[in-house]
Amino acid sequence: MTPVIVPVMLLTSSVLMALAWLGHVRFRERVPFVVAVLASWLLVLPEYILNVVAIRWGHEFYSGGAMASFNLCTGVLCVALVSRFVLGEPISRRQVLGFVLMAAAVVLVVYE
C-alpha cells in the first residue's frame, strides 16, 4: 500500500504548496499582505509534514531521485492548475506538451 500512498501524499503536498504560492494572489485587492503571508504559512505547514512523511515512507520503495522527480513534476502541474482554475490564466498547448514530456521524464526516472 505504501508505494501507492507516497505518490498521493506528494501530489497532495504539491496541491497545498501551489495554493500557498498562488492562492493569495486572487485576493490581493481585498486581503492585507500580512494575512496572505499567515494564510500561506498555514497551508505550508501541513504541506511540509506530508512531504517529509512521504519521503520517509517512500525511501524504502523509491530512490531519492524518483521521489524528487515526482514531487517536482506534480508541483509544476499543480501550479499550472491553480493558475488556471484559481487565477483564470490560460494553459497553452505548448505547456500541455511540456507536462507530457515531464510525465515521460518521471516514468523514466521512477522505472529505471
CB–CB of 86/22 below 8 Å? yes
Quote the pTM value: 0.85
Residue of 2, 14, 1 lying closest to 60 (CA atoms): 2
Cα 76 from Cα 50, distance rounded (Å): 17
Strands (E), 35-98: none
Burial of 87 (0-12, 13-18, 19+ CB in 10 A): exposed
Q: How many structural domains comprise the chain?
A: 1
Q: What is the largest CA-CA distance in the chain?
A: 48
Residue pLDDT tens, the chain, 112 long: 778 899 899 999 999 999 999 989 999 899 999 999 999 999 999 999 999 999 999 998 999 888 888 888 889 889 999 999 999 999 999 999 998 998 899 889 888 7
For 82, the domain range is 2-110
